Structure 1
Amino acid sequence: AAIAIAGVTWALIGYSLAFDGTALLLGGLNHVALHDVGFTPREGTTIPQLVFFAFQATFCIITVALIAGAVVERMRFGAFLVFAAVWSIVVYSVLAHWSFGGGWLTQNGLLDFAGGVPVEMASGFSALAAALVVGARKDYGRQALLPHNAVYVLAGAGLLWFGWFGFNGGSGFSTGNSSVLAFTNTLLTPCCTLVMWFVLDLVRGRKVTAIGAATAIIVGCVLITPAGAFISPAWAMALGAVGALPCYAVIVWRPRTRVDETLDVLAAHGMAGFTGILFIGFFAQLAWNGAADGLVYGNASQLGDQALAAAVAPAYAFTVTYVLLRVIGFLMPLRSTERQEALGMDVIHHGEEAYASGEGAILVTPEAGVEAEVPVSP
């Protein structure tokens, strides 16, 4: 759903609002429906603008998908489709323009290599807002809600790490030094995050787990996303270790609240993106990035630029997401009923399940609210 909805809105208007012109708050409409987006290289790159559009589309798509992780098993499918379409325009495109589309944060001096603002912080703090509006799952806090399949989770994390080399390395839009540095740091930072995660788990008296390792991989990849081409490999390793601490703390704290933010998007993306953005302000190094030094190397103003983005972006994403979901909830049902939640969203909204036992399935007629046992062919 995220691929379809965000992909279409990005092509129709989102890309234009994010990357057309250098107005302070929002891009123009010259590229609506990909008008004048062709084979000519985009300014500042050596790649055709069509390729640039498609690459940036993947950022928008994954950000929308991440927010879905906060409200799984309870938000209605139709409401999510509406949310995805509007959010990708009023939140993602706006923040993308501010941070790397030529908007006011960019003009102010923000360094964000691959989406710490519009992807990571936006998804994390929007996920928090979504979880607050939609509410917790019916069994949250009353029974253990265990991961479905640890093997799949770990395999998925490995695939994500592999893909992140393209996500970060590709954001240099060339085979130059920035892409090489980002590619290398995307290896080093998650490695160090994994090691620190192991230590934190053991210090808390727990065993090192596959789910914990998968979470650490994602946290490490997110930490280096904004900083990939702005800090040295040594500082990238330090970021992986130190940045694990606040993210781990949020993961430990969140289940003690009534905030059922199911996949810990706030911790793994919001907090990690926040940490990565601030880390640049301290440890950016002109000798490595060719752009600016951070506080440690004598440029205090860079920390101010990064801190401003770290304050404004989460506030904007949280506020707009919260209001948007309230409006959608006023116009149409936002959350499934307890009965529908008990039956499962797959059955209710899609008429199918991930696994069929061969012993029969529940046929649901939503209009009549009738359930009947029907045979399923093995």
Structure 2
Amino acid sequence: MNGADTAWIMVATALVLLMTLPGLALFYGGLVRARNVLSIFMQCFGLAALMSVLWLLGGYSIAFGEANAWWGGLARFGMLGVGPDTLKGTLPEILFFAFQMTFAIITPALIIGAFVERVNFAFVMLFSALWMFLVYAPVTHWIWGGGIMSDGGIWGEVGTRDFAGGIVVHETAALAALLLAIMIGPRRHRTTPPHNPGMVSMGAGLLWVGWFGFNGGSQLAADGGAAMAITVTHISAAAASLSWAAWERIKFGRSSLVGIVTGTIAGLASITPASGFVGPLEALVIGTVAGILCQEAVVLIRERIRIDDTLDVFAVHGVGGIFGTIMVAVFGHGSYVAQLGALVVVGVYTLALTWVIAKGVALIFPMRVDKEAETNGLDLSTHGERAYDMNS
């Protein structure tokens, strides 16, 4: 065990949890109507708790076990036999478990942005549980757990390069989000503006800081590689923030707060798969392009295709993660075959399993709340609470 590595990954674990609670909760919460903000918080907290328990009860073992190249098996169920001295590389394995658990938390939490303000809470919880076991954990094993897409796997000696989750996290979550947005259907109040842009910016700021743990921690060591990953993450986020705001000003004559912080997230998502391989100037290119590319993807999906992916999960996380994955090969740090092949295989698998899981869960819990509940807001109709008391 290396003490410095262990200390850094303990910090990184806390930073990645910070991304969901409260980062993503605030970011998503500020973008919805005031009558739905608590439903976002509830979904984020509920998923954080549920994924933590399920990661212990099989998720980690499926992802990082050693059964075969397709899935990890259940030998690590409940972390039986793992003590404080059991190692995973230079880290205590229980710490590696905890660090990866925070990824398993935020990935299904990202999905909820596509169907907020109209989804049934019970559907979210059961769908997310099954999705983590059947989609997230197997894909994690294929790419990060020594599975079929790692070095020496189906792509040959050079496997898929996904440093911190461009495919494992962002592509899977975004494709699932897009499909569910189509299946559930659009909101009845699609043009309602964000109720609290300030809350959105605070959430984005916490996501930006937490992403240092997300990408820097994925080095699994306290070394120069982690320092480079943190630096390129920051540069990409900064560049995408500026390019989004500039492109917005060129097109509409003004730059918005929600726009610039959405650009931040686009830059962060785009650098995620490449953060362990590229340098600062390459990160500058990735971020600059991502700010414009993801903004145009928002327009395409929202206004031209007319899919109500409410909080632009696919346009920002999906397009960003896919773009960054391809840029790994463009900059010569990976194989085009491995990068593009993984995007296609994981994409098809995610869409197919997401559809099956959603249809199955819908037989038990309806996907969508009724018209009255949607009109009155999910805070009161589902959870019996209000975020704001206008009479106090």
TM-score band w.r.t. shorter chain: 0.7 to 0.9
Residue 99 of structure 2 corresponds to residue 51 of structure 1: no
Q: How far did residue 357 of structure 1 move?
A: 2.1
Instruction: Please say if residues 175 and 318 of structure 2, whose CA atoms lie closer than 8 Å, have aligned partners that are also in contact.
Output: yes
The C-alpha deviation readout for 1:54-106, integer Å capped at 9, x for no partner, is 11011011011111111111111111111111111111101111111111111
Three-state SS of the structure 1 residue aligned to 2:252 is coil
Corresponding position of 2:42: none
Letter in 2 for 1:310: L
Residue 175 of structure 2 corresponds to residue 125 of structure 1: yes
Corresponding position of 2:161: 111
Higher helix share: 2
Q: How far did residue 258 of structure 1 move?
A: 3.2
Letter in 1 for 2:166: G
Residue 371 of structure 2 corresponds to residue 338 of structure 1: yes
Letter in 1 for 2:352: T
Instruction: Please say if residues 242 and 260 of structure 2, whose CA atoms lie closer than 8 Å, have aligned partners that are also in contact.
Output: no
Letter in 1 for 2:361: I
Q: How far did residue 236 of structure 1 move?
A: 1.0
Three-state SS of the structure 2 residue aligned to 1:25 is coil
Counterparts of 1:333 and 1:190, CA distance in 2: 38
Corresponding position of 1:33: 78
- Give the stretch that moved more between structures: 59-68 or 30-39: 30-39
Counterparts of 2:307 and 2:276, CA distance in 1: 35
Residue 111 of structure 2 corresponds to residue 67 of structure 1: yes
Instruction: Please say if residues 22 and 102 of structure 1, whose CA atoms lie closer than 8 Å, have aligned partners that are also in contact.
Output: no
Q: How far did residue 41 of structure 1 move?
A: 5.2
Q: Which of 160, 164, 172 pairs up with 2:211?
A: 164
Corresponding position of 1:242: 289
The C-alpha deviation readout for 1:212-242, integer Å capped at 9, x for no partner, is 0110111111111111011121111111112
Residue 184 of structure 2 corresponds to residue 134 of structure 1: yes
Residues 1-378 of structure 1 correspond to what in structure 2 (within 5 A)? 1-21=46-66, 23-40=68-85, 42-43=87-88, 45-106=89-150, 107=153, 108=155, 109-140=159-190, 144-256=191-303, 257-284=305-332, 293-294=333-334, 302-358=335-391, 378=392
Q: How far did residue 206 of structure 1 move?
A: 3.2
Regions of 4+ moved over 3 Å: 40-43
Counterparts of 1:64 and 1:88, CA distance in 2: 7
Tell which structure's C-alpha radius of gyration is larger: 1
Instruction: Please say if residues 242 and 291 of structure 2, whose CA atoms lie closer than 8 Å, have aligned partners that are also in contact.
Output: no
- TM value normalised by structure 1: 0.87
Letter in 2 for 1:332: F
The C-alpha deviation readout for 1:194-221, integer Å capped at 9, x for no partner, is 1211221122133111000110111111
Letter in 1 for 2:227: V
Instruction: Please say if residues 133 and 326 of structure 1, whose CA atoms lie closer than 8 Å, have aligned partners that are also in contact.
Output: no
Counterparts of 2:345 and 2:250, CA distance in 1: 35
- Give the stretch that moved more between structures: 309-318 or 71-80: 309-318
Corresponding position of 2:3: none
Cα RMSD of the aligned pairs, angstroms, is 1.4
Gaps of at least 5 residues in structure 1 are 285-292, 295-301, 359-377
Identity %: 36
Counterparts of 2:122 and 2:294, CA distance in 1: 32
Letter in 2 for 1:98: W
- For this pair of structures, how many residues does the alignment match? 340
Q: How far did residue 22 of structure 1 move?
A: 6.3
The C-alpha deviation readout for 1:342-365, integer Å capped at 9, x for no partner, is 11111111110111223xxxxxxx
- TM value normalised by structure 2: 0.84
Instruction: Please say if residues 74 and 335 of structure 1, whose CA atoms lie closer than 8 Å, have aligned partners that are also in contact.
Output: yes
